[in-house]
Amino acid sequence: MVGPIYIIAIALGTAFSLGFFKNANRNISFSLMFLAMAFLTFISGQWLYAFLTQQQETIQIFTAGFKPPFSISLQMGFHEAVFLTMINSLGLLSAIYLFDHLREKGVNMMMVFMLLFMGLNVVVMTRDIFNLFVFLEISSIALVGLIILEKKQDAISSGFKYLIASGVISGILLIGIVATYYYSGSLYINDLISANLSLVKGGSVAVFLIMIAVILELKPFPANGWALDVYQSVNAGIGPIISGGIATASLFILYKLLPIGGDAWLLPIGITGVISFLGSNFLGIKQKSSNRILAYSSISQVGLLMIIMSLSTSLGDKFEFVFFSVLISQYLAKAGLFWIAGIINKDEIDDWNILKKSPGLIVLVGIFMFTLLGLPPFPAFYGKWELIMNLSQSGNFVWVGIILLGSLFEAIYLLRWFGKILIKQDNLEDLKIKFHKLIPVIFVSFAILLFSYLTAKWSGLIGIKYYIPFIIALLIFAFDFLPVFIKNIAAISTVAWYSYVLIYQTYIPENDILRIVFGSIFLIGAIIMLIPGFTFKGKRQGFYPLVILMFSGLAGLIEARTTFQFFFAWEIMTLASYLLIIRGKNAVKPSFNYILFSMAGAFTMFAGFGLAFAETGSISLNALADVLVYANWAYALIAIGFLVKIAAFGVHIWLPSSYAEADDDVTSMISAILIKSGVFGLIILMLSMSLKNAVSPNIPYVLGWIGAIGALIGNMMAIYQEDVKKLIAYSSIGIMGYILFALSMMSHMGWLTAFTYSIVHFLYKGLLFLAIAGVIYRTQTRNIYEMGGLIKRMPLSFISVLIGIITLAGMPPLAGFAGKWMFYNAVIMKGWYLQGAIVFFSGIVAFLYCFKLIHNIFLGPLKDNHRKLKEASIWWLIPQFILIIGIMVISVYPKIVVEPIGQYLSMYFPNDGLVWDGTTASTRLGYWDATKIMTVFAGMFGVLFIILYSMSRKTQLVEQFNIVFQGERPERPETTHYAHNMYAPYNKALGFLTAPFITSAWKFVYESIHSISDQVRKFYTGNGQTYAMHIIIYVVVFYLFINGGF
Amino acid sequence: MVKNSFIFLVLIGLAAILLNLFAGFNGSTELGTIAAHYASKGIEEVGSANLVTSVVVSYRGLDTLGEVTILFLSAAIIGFFLKVDNTDNKNRQLKYTSEILNTASQVLVPIMLLFGAYVFINGHLSPGGGFQGGAIIASGLVLMFIAQPKKEMGHKMINIVESVSGVSFVLLGVAGILFASGFLDNKILSLGKFGTLFSAGIIPIIYILVGLKVGSELTGIALSLKENQNEA
Amino acid sequence: MENITLQNISLAIGILVILIGLWGLLTQKNLIKIVIGFALFDTGIHIVMVSIGYIKNRTAPIIDSAVDMNNASNLVVDPIPQALVLTAIVIGLGITALMLSYVLKMYQKKKSLDITNYKDLKW
Amino acid sequence: MKILYVLFSFFIILNYGLLQTGFIRRITARVGKRIGVPFYQPYIDLVKNYAIRSQFSHGVMFYLGPVFRLSGGIGIFLFMPLIYGNEMFSNFSMSGDLILILYFMFIGMLGMALGAGEGGHPYSIIGITRGLSQFTTIEVPMTLAVISIAAQYQTLSISEIVAAQQGGFMNWTIMTNPLATAAAMLAFLGMIGYAPFNVVNAPQENPLGPPTEFHGTFLGMLQTNRVILHVIESILFMNLFFGGATNWLALIVKAFIIYFYAVFIGTVFPRFRIDQSIKWFLFIPTILGILAVIFIS
C-alpha cells in the first residue's frame, strides 16, 4: 500500500511544480492538480478500505529517521482514514466543481487549492502539536487565498476579518503550545497526554489555551461572526471546503487533543456545543441569504457534533455510530446544498423558485434538506435517535429539550426555504447549468442514499423490509416518464398486494382486530382513494413515489413493534404527506404550517419515547406499559404528537388551509385516511399506558374536554365557511374531537364508539370529499356560493353527498346513527354529562353545514355558467359508490363490524359491553335494532312515495325560469344570493364562539420568536475588530467559567 | 470611550490568564530530556555544529517544509491578488529617488546578495541558515527596488527559482524514504567530517534550497507590492 | 529581588507587548495600525517563546570552540524554542504580508483606511 | 297483526290531531276577536288538498321532500310507545329507544329542507336556514334534559322511563326532576313552533317560503305530518315527564294539556327574531338544563 507520507510528498511536489506551468496551457496544470487530488483520495481510500476489511493495525510514520518524541511522527488509524477519505474526496469533487473558476483564475489558485488540502491531511495525521499548528496555519492561509477567488468587495473585507480573527486564535494556540512545551518538555501529543498537565498549576492554563483555541477554530456561537461573513461572501464552491473540509478537520483536532484536557473538558465542550446548536439555529430563523443560512446550519451541526463528542464516554460503543452518522450526513448534505446554491447563483432564497425549471434539482435539494433535518430514511435520523435515547437514559432531559428545540428552529428555516423554492411564479428566467457543476451534486446525493442504507444496516434498529417501499418508490420514480394511467395501476396493485400480505395473511389469522380495522382503513382506503387518479392527464411527476411512501409509512405504523419503528414510520408518513400537500396550487404556506406543527409534535413524541426508554431501557412498544415514574410526562408528551396529527383543539389551525389547498384526491386521502394515524397512535398509547394506573386519570379527563371543545369549535367554524373544501376540513376537526372524546372516556362503550366513528368517518368523509372533488373538477370553483342547482347536472354526485351528510349528521337509519347511539350510552354510563352535552350540541350544529353543503351545491337555482356541465367523471364516481355500499352494509347490518370489535375490546374493558341478541344491540341503558329500523323506515318510505307518486303522476318539469330569479345577480352571486353568508343570524348570535383566538395566539408566538432572533443577531456588527473582541471575551469568560475566577 | 474601557477590562482579564499561565515559571535550570538528547546526541546523529539548524532542518524538518510552504502560499496568493494588468500600469506615477540612494544601492546590493549566500551556505556551522540568508538576499533586492522604482522586473525568473528549489526539497525528502529510514532523513549522504563545509548530510543542500526559495518568495511578495505602488 | 531574573523580565516584556498589540488591534480604526497591532502581538509571542528557552548563564546552542561537545547538554540553552520561534516568525511574516496586501486592495477599492467602512456583510 | 294495531292507533292519533288542530285554530281566533273556522275545517282542507292534482313538479327531490317529511313524522309515531303496559299500543318501540326518537326528528327537517331547496326558489331557503338555526339551539336544553332523566332513571328506553314513573303523581318526573322538566318544556315551545318561535315559517313575512312551493297532494302530506307531529311530540313529553298514560283517555287529556300550554304561550306572546330566539334558548333553558344535569350527577 502507498504510505501516507506520499500524500505530503505528492501534494507539495505538485503544488511547487505547478509554478513551471505559469504561462503554459492551463488545462495541463489543472489536470495535473486534479490527478494529484485523485491520488490523495486514492491513498486515503485504500487505507480506509484496509481498515474496514482486513484488520489493519494503526501505524505510525516517523520522519527524519528518528523516533518520536525526538522527531515529528504521523499516525494513520481507522479514524484518520475516515476523516482523510472524507476530506480528500471532498477536495476531488470541489476540484471538479470549481473547474472553470480555477482554470480562469490561473495556476496560483490551483496551488492554493492543492495546499489547502495538503495542510488538512497533515493536520489530521500528525502527532506533533507544533507541527499541527504549522499545517493548520497553512490551510487557514490557503483559505484566505480562496476567499478572494473572485475579487468581490465583500469577499475582500470578510477575508480581512477572517485574517484578524484567525491571527488572534492562532496566537493564543501558539502561546498555549509553547507553555505546554515548557511544562512538559515535549511536543509529542502522546507525551502531553501522559504528562497530564492539568495537575500542574500553570500547565492547566496552558491546556486551557490550547483547547480554547481549538474550540474557537470550530467557530462556536457567538464568537463566530467572521466565519459567517466568510461563508456568505465566498464563491459557493468554497463553502463546502469550509464546512465539510476545514470544520471536519478541526473536529478531528478536538477529538485528538481531548485526552490532553482529560475528562474535565467533556462537560465544557458539551455546553459549548449546546450553546452553538441552539444559538445559531435560533439566529438562522431570520436569514434571507442562502449561503448565510447554510453557514448558520453548519455551525449548529458542528455544535451538535461537539455535544456528541462530549458524550463519548456515556455513549460507549454507540459513540462512533452516532458521531459518524451525524457528521457524514451533514458533510454530504451541506456540500450538496452549497453546490446547488452555486449553480443557481442567487443569494436571496426568495429567488430560488427559479429551480422550478429543473425538477430534478428540486428533488436533490429535498434530499439534502431532509438529510440535514435528520428525517428518515436519511442517516442522521438513526444517530439522533441513539443520541436522544442515550441523553434521556443518563437523565439529561434539559439537553434533550434544547436539542429538540434547536432542531425545530432549524426545521423552521430550512423548510421555509424549501417552500420558497416551490412557489409558483411566471416569467422565471431559465437556468443554465454547467455539467461539471452537476457531477459532484449527483455524486453526493447517491452517496447519501448509499450511506442511509449502510447506517440502517449498521444501526440494526429496523429490518430490511422497511426499505422495500423505498425501493418501490425509487422504481416508480425511475419510470416517472410513463403516463399516469400505468403508474396509477402500478401503485394500486402495489398497495393491493401489500394489504393482502399485511391484513389477509398476517393479522386476520392473528385475529388482531385493532390492526385489521386500521390496516383496512389505511390500505384498502388507499386503493379506493387512488382510483380517481385515472382522471389526471399527463405524467403527474413525483406524485406516485410520494403516495407509495405515505401509505407505506401508514402500514409501517401498523407493523411497528418498537418505538423506533413506530417513529420511523411516523416521520416517513408525515414527510410524504407534507410533500403531497405542497404539490397543491397555493399550498406552500399551509403545508409549511402543517409540517411545522407535525415536526413539533414529532419532537415531543420523540422526547416522550426517550423518557420511556430512560425508565424501561427497552424500545419495545409493549414496554411503554412498564413506565411508572415518568408515566405522566411520557404519556402527555407522546399524546401531543398524536393530538397534532388529529388536529385536536389548540393545535388544529394547520388543518383547514392544508386540506383546502392540497390536490383534490390528495385531500380525500389525507382527510379520510391519514388523519386516522393519530387515532391509531392514541389507541396504541392508551392501550399500553392508560390502562395501568401509573397515568393519572386527570390526563384523559383533560383530553376529553379538549375533544369536546374541539368538536364544538370545529363544527361551528364549518358552518361559516364559503370554501367548500374548508367546510369539510373543519368538520373533520369536529369529528376528530368526537373520537378523541370517546377514546378519553376509557370505557368499553366509549372505545366502541371511537372505533365505529373511525370506520364510519373514513367512509363518509372519503365519500364527501370525492363527490365534492368531482364537482370542483367540473365547476372549477371552490366557492360554495358560486354553485347551485347542480342536482340537475350531476345527480349521482348528489346521491353520494346526500348519503354522506345523512351519515355525517348521524340520522337514522344510516350508519352514522350507530355512533350517536353508542355515544349517548357511553356518556351516560361514564357520567361525563356536560362534556357529553357539548358534543351532542356540536353534533346538531353539524346538521347546519350538512344542509349548507347539499343545498348550496345541488339545490337552489342553477348558475348560468353551469348549464352545460356534465356529470363527474366515472373515476370519481366508482370509489364513491364503493364507499356507499360500505355505508349501506354497516347501516343495515352493523353487527358484522361492531360485534368483533366489541369482543376485542372486552379483553381490555370487560364491563358494560354491548350485548347482541339477534340484530338487537342492547346496553344496560338502551337498545337499538338497526335492521328492523331500516326495514320499517324503508317500508313506510316506500308506501308514502307510491301514494304521492300515484296521486300526482302526470306532472311537467318546471324549468328554472318558470319561476323568478328573485333578487339574484347571477354574475355576482355573493352580493345577494342567500347561499353567501348563510346562517348570518346564527353568526350574529354565536359568532363570539368562533373568534380566531387560537390562531392569533400561535401567530403571536411565531412572530415573537422571529423578532427576538432579529434583535439578537444585531451583535454581529460586521466590524472585524468587534469579532476579534468577541473572541477574546469568549476566552476570558470561558476561563472564568472553568476556573470560577482568575 | 466606554467601549475602550471595556476592551481594557477584557485585556486585564487576558493578562490575568497569562500571568496564571506562567505562575509556575521560574527560569528553567536544566534542559528537558528531548533538548538534552539533541544537545548531546545531535552531533553524531545529524552532525551539524549549529544545534538549532539540526533541529530545524533534520529533527523537525517537516515543520520547515511547512513554513517554506507558508511563504510559498503567501507569495502565490499575493501574486494572484495584486496582479496588475498593463491598463492601470500606464498611469503609475512614482517619486524620484535621490542620487545617494542610487549610488549606495549599486554598491550594496551585490554585497548583500553575496552575504546572504554565505549565511545560508554556512547555516549548519555558524549562526544563520536558509531563512536568514534568504531574508538578506530579499532585502538586497528590495533595496534595489527602492533605489530604482522605474526598473521593471518580471516574475518569471522568481517563479522558476521558487519551483525548482521547492520541488527538489520535496524530492530530497522522498529520497530519504527511498535510501534511508524516513521522509527528510538526513543520512542519504554521509555526515562527513564534523565542522567542515561539506558535512552534516544534506543539511547544506536543503539550506541552500531554502535560502533560494525564501529569497525568491520574499522578493516576489515585495515585487507584487511594488507593482501596486502608485504615488499619484 | 532574587526571582527577578533575565527570563522573568523578558517574559514580562513579552506579555506586555502581546497586550499592547491586542490593544492596538482592538481599538485602532486605521487598517494599517491594526496590522501593526497584530505584528506586535506576534512579536510579543516570539519574545515569550525565546525567553522560555533561555537558561541562566549558558551560551547559544552551537558547538564550537566555546562549547565542549561532550558536555554540551550542560552548557547550551534549549535549542527547541529557538527552532520553533524561527518557524513562528516566518508564519507571522506570511500572515502580515497577506494582511498588508489585503489592506492595499481594500484601499484601492474604497479609498478608505477606516475599518468601520468595511461592514459589507453583517447579521 | 302488529301492523293492524299500529294502523289502528295511527287512525286514532290522526283524527285526534285533526280535531285538536281545528279546536286550537278556533280558540286562537277567538282570542283574536274573530269567529274562526269550524272545528272540522282541517278535515276539509285535508280532503281538498289530497283531491287536487298538481300539474307540475321541480324534480325528484320535490317528490322526496314531503315523503321524507311525513315519514319522519310517522317514524316518530312508529317508535313511540303510546299506552303504558299495553303490548298492542306500544308500536315498534322495542326496536329503538329515546335516542332514536330524538334523531328521527331530523329526518323530517331534512326532507322539508331538501324539498323546498329543489324548488329552486331563492327565498324558500330563508325559512329553512331560520328553522335549522333555531332547531339546533332548541336541542340544547332538550338534550340536557334527556341526559338528566336518562341518568336519573339509568335507562334510555321510553317504556322503562314511563314504568319508573308509575304509582302516583309524586313519581312523575316533573316532581322528581323539576329542573329537567322545566328545561324540556321550554324547549317544547320551540318544537311546536308557535310564537314566540314561529318566525321560521313566518306565513306573513315571506309568503314565498317553503309551504307555498308545495300544493295539492304535497301540501296535504305536509299538513298530515304537521298534525301528527304535534300530537306525537306532546305524547313524547307526556311519556318522559308526566308519567305516561295507561289508557287512551289519559293519553288524550295529558297530550292536550301539554299542547295547549304551548298554544297558550303562543297566543299571548309576540315573536322573536331568529338570533333573539337562539340567544334565548341558550340562556335560561340551557342553564336550567345544566343545573338539572349537575343535580343528577
d(CA C57, CA A441): 64
pLDDT for D208: 47
Q: Which of residues 90-109 of D touch A (CB under 8 A)?
A: 92, 94-100, 103-104, 106-107, 109
Query: Is-contact A409 A284, C-beta < 8 A?
Result: yes
Residues in contact with A366: Cβ distance below 8 Å, sequence separation at least 6, in sequence order:
A418, A579
pLDDT digits (tens, 9 = 90+) for A35-63: 999 999 999 999 999 998 888 888 888 88
Residues in contact with A213: Cβ distance below 8 Å, sequence separation at least 6, in sequence order:
A169, A170, A172, A173, A176
Question: CB–CB of D278 and A985 under 8 A?
Answer: yes
Domain range summary for chain D, segments of one domain joined by +: 2-296
Looking at residue D31, its amino acid is V
Query: Is-contact A170 A141, C-beta < 8 A?
Result: no
Question: CB–CB of B185 and A182 under 8 A?
Answer: no
Contacts of C23 in chain B (CB under 8 A): 7-8, 11
Q: How far is CA A794 from CA A411, A535, A663, B81, in A?
A: 45, 17, 21, 75
ipTM for the assembly: 0.85
CA dihedral A295, A297, A303, A309 (to 10 degrees): -110
Where does the pLDDT of residue A695 fall: very low under 50, low under 70, confident under 90, or very high at 90 and above? Answer: confident
pLDDT for D37: 87
Give which of A128, A148, A157 to mutate to test C binding, by max C Cβ within 10 Å.
A157
pLDDT digits (tens, 9 = 90+) for B111-130: 999 999 998 888 788 888 88
Q: A1016 — contact with chain C (CB < 8 Å)?
A: no
Of D106, D166, D220, B163, the C-alpha closest to A845 is: D106
pLDDT of B86 > 70? The answer is: no
pLDDT digits (tens, 9 = 90+) for D106-125: 888 888 888 877 776 666 77
Residues in contact with A360: Cβ distance below 8 Å, sequence separation at least 6, in sequence order:
none
Q: A209 — contact with chain B (CB < 8 Å)?
A: yes
In the predicted model, what is the mean pLDDT of residues B99-122? Answer: 89
User: Can you list the alpha helix ranges (DSSP code H) found in A222-285?
Assistant: 225-233, 239-240, 247-261, 266-284
Q: Chains A/B: 3 or more C-beta pairs closer than 8 A? A: yes
C-alpha cell at A128: 506533533
Q: Which of residues 7-46 of D touch A (CB under 8 A)?
A: none
pLDDT for D210: 56
pLDDT digits (tens, 9 = 90+) for A75-110: 999 999 999 999 999 999 999 999 988 888 888 899
User: Can you list the alpha helix ranges (DSSP code H) found in A311-378?
Assistant: 312-315, 319-344, 359-372
C-alpha cell at D288: 336550567
pLDDT, mean over chain A:
88
pLDDT digits (tens, 9 = 90+) for A595-646: 999 999 999 999 999 999 998 888 888 888 888 888 889 999 999 999 999 9
pLDDT for D285: 92
Query: For B73, which of A122, A142, A1046 is closest by C-beta distance?
Result: A142
pLDDT for A333: 93
Of A668, B25, B183, the C-alpha closest to C7 is: B25
DSSP state of C66: T
pLDDT digits (tens, 9 = 90+) for A905-929: 988 888 888 888 888 888 888 888 8
A237 burial class (0-12, 13-18, 19+ CB within 10 angstroms)?
buried
C-alpha cell at B171: 524530492
A73 burial class (0-12, 13-18, 19+ CB within 10 angstroms)?
buried
pLDDT digits (tens, 9 = 90+) for A821-871: 998 889 988 888 888 889 988 888 888 898 888 888 888 777 778 888 888
Question: CB–CB of A795 and D55 under 8 A?
Answer: no
Domain range summary for chain B, segments of one domain joined by +: 2-227
Backbone angle region of A863, left / alpha / beta, with phi > 0 → left and psi within -120 to 50 → alpha:
beta
For C47, name the nearest residue in chain A, comparing CA atoms only.
A175
Give chains near A: 3+ CB pairs under 8 A: B, C, D
Domain range summary for chain C, segments of one domain joined by +: 6-58+77-114
d(CA A364, CA A290): 16
User: Can you list the alpha helix ranges (DSSP code H) found in A467-559?
Assistant: 468-478, 484-499, 508-510, 513-519, 525-530, 543-559
Query: Is-contact A803 D70, C-beta < 8 A?
Result: no
pLDDT for D207: 42
Quickly count: other Cβ atoms within 10 Å of residue D32's Cβ.
Answer: 9
Question: CB–CB of C90 and B50 under 8 A?
Answer: no
Where does the pLDDT of residue A1021 fall: very low under 50, low under 70, confident under 90, or very high at 90 and above? Answer: confident
Question: CB–CB of C91 and A134 under 8 A?
Answer: yes
Query: For A978, which of D55, D92, D122 is closest by C-beta distance?
Result: D122
pLDDT of C1 > 50? The answer is: no
Which SS3 state, helix, strand or coil, does residue A61 take? strand
> Which CATH number among 3.40.980.10, 1.10.287.990, 1.10.260.40, 1.10.287.3510 corresponds to the domain C6-58+77-114?
1.10.287.3510
d(CA A645, CA A553): 14
Q: C93 — contact with chain B (CB < 8 Å)?
A: yes
Stretch (H or E) spanning D94: none
Query: Is-contact A8 B183, C-beta < 8 A?
Result: yes
d(CA A406, CA A387): 14
Q: How far is CA A234 from CA A105, A230, A240, A270, A679, in A?
A: 15, 6, 10, 30, 50
Question: CB–CB of D136 and A847 under 8 A?
Answer: yes
Where does the pLDDT of residue B22 fall: very low under 50, low under 70, confident under 90, or very high at 90 and above? Answer: confident
Q: A158 — contact with chain C (CB < 8 Å)?
A: yes
Burial A730-752 (b: 16+ CB within 10 A, else e): bbbbbbbbbbbbbbbbbbbbbbb
Give which of A158, A296, A1016, A1025 to mutate to test C binding, by max C Cβ within 10 Å.
A1025
pLDDT for A691: 76
How close are the terminal C-alpha atoms of chain A, in Å?
Answer: 52
Of B31, B32, B58, the C-alpha closest to B47 is: B58
Looking at residue A655, its amino acid is L
C-alpha cell at D8: 289502528
d(CA A1016, CA A279): 10
From the CA of C19, how many Å to the nearest CA of chain B?
Answer: 7
A162 burial class (0-12, 13-18, 19+ CB within 10 angstroms)?
buried
d(CA A934, CA A541): 47
d(CA A913, CA A906): 7
Strand partners, D268: none
Looking at residue A27, its amino acid is N
Where does the pLDDT of residue B89 fall: very low under 50, low under 70, confident under 90, or very high at 90 and above? Answer: low
Q: How far is CA A518 from CA A523, A677, A1026, D177, in A?
A: 8, 8, 60, 44
Which SS3 state, helix, strand or coil, does residue C122 take? coil
pLDDT, mean over chain B:
82
Contacts of D74 in chain A (CB under 8 A): 940, 944
d(CA A45, CA A91): 13
In the predicted model, what is the mean pLDDT of residues B95-105? Answer: 84
pLDDT digits (tens, 9 = 90+) for C23-75: 999 999 999 999 999 999 999 999 998 888 888 778 888 877 777 777 777 78
Query: Is-contact D161 D239, C-beta < 8 A?
Result: yes
Q: B31 — contact with chain C (CB < 8 Å)?
A: yes
Which residue matches cell numbers 386540506? A659
d(CA A435, CA D143): 72
From the CA of B55, how many Å to the nearest CA of chain C?
Answer: 7
Contacts of D275 in chain A (CB under 8 A): 985-986, 988-989
d(CA B113, CA B118): 9
In the predicted model, what is the mean pLDDT of residues A793-818? Answer: 90
- Of A195 and A175, the one with more pLDDT: A175
Q: Which of residues 7-26 of C touch B (CB under 8 A)?
A: 7-8, 11, 15, 18-19, 22-23, 26
∠ CA D280-D283-D284, nearest 5°, is 95
Q: Which residues of C touch A (CB under 8 A)?
A: 18, 22, 25-27, 31, 34, 38, 41-42, 45, 48-49, 52, 80-81, 84, 87-88, 91, 94-95, 98-99, 102-103, 105-106, 109-110, 115-116, 118-123
Looking at residue A455, its amino acid is T
A889 burial class (0-12, 13-18, 19+ CB within 10 angstroms)?
middle
DSSP state of A914: P
C-alpha cell at A438: 452537476
d(CA D142, CA D145): 5
Where does the pLDDT of residue A973 fall: very low under 50, low under 70, confident under 90, or very high at 90 and above? Answer: low
Query: Is-contact B213 B72, C-beta < 8 A?
Result: yes
Question: CB–CB of D118 and A927 under 8 A?
Answer: no
Where does the pLDDT of residue D211 fall: very low under 50, low under 70, confident under 90, or very high at 90 and above? Answer: low
Q: A920 — contact with chain D (CB < 8 Å)?
A: yes
From the CA of B67, how many Å to the nearest CA of chain A?
Answer: 7
DSSP letters for A744-772 = HT-SHHHHHHHHHHHHHHHHHHHHHHHHH
Which SS3 state, helix, strand or coil, does residue D3 take? helix
- Of A792 and A526, the one with more pLDDT: A526
Of A487, A529, A536, the C-alpha closest to A879 is: A529
Stretch (H or E) spanning A59: strand A59-62
Rounded to the nearest angstrom, the gap between the alpha carbon of residue A301 and the centroid of all alpha carbons in its chain is 17
DSSP letters for D163-222 = HHH-SSGGGSHHHH-HHHHHHHHHHHHHHHT-TTS-TTT-TTT-TTSHHHH--THHHHHH
Rounded to the nearest angstrom, the gap between the alpha carbon of residue A663 and the centroid of all alpha carbons in its chain is 20
Which SS3 state, helix, strand or coil, does residue A480 take? coil
Of B35, B41, B40, the C-alpha closest to C78 is: B35
C-alpha cell at A197: 498537565
Q: B221 — contact with chain C (CB < 8 Å)?
A: yes
Query: Is-contact A815 A890, C-beta < 8 A?
Result: yes
Question: CB–CB of C94 and A160 under 8 A?
Answer: no
Give chains near C: 3+ CB pairs under 8 A: A, B
Rounded percentage of chain A residues whose pLDDT exceeds 90: 42
d(CA B115, CA B133): 8
Query: Is-contact A860 A793, C-beta < 8 A?
Result: no
Which residue matches cell numbers 426517550? A610
Lowest mean pLDDT among A327-331, A382-386, A474-478, B134-138: A474-478
Contacts of A131 in chain B (CB under 8 A): 60, 62-63, 66
Q: D53 — contact with chain A (CB < 8 Å)?
A: yes
pLDDT for A168: 93
Question: CB–CB of B60 and C83 under 8 A?
Answer: yes
d(CA A681, CA A674): 12
Domain range summary for chain A, segments of one domain joined by +: 5-447, 696-995
pLDDT digits (tens, 9 = 90+) for D68-85: 888 888 888 888 888 887
d(CA A786, CA A861): 11
From the CA of B135, how many Å to the nearest CA of chain A?
Answer: 20
Contacts of B156 in chain A (CB under 8 A): 22-23
Q: B145 — contact with chain A (CB < 8 Å)?
A: no
In the predicted model, what is the mean pLDDT of residues A943-963? Answer: 74
Q: Helix crossing, B130-147 with B203-227: angle to 10°?
A: 30
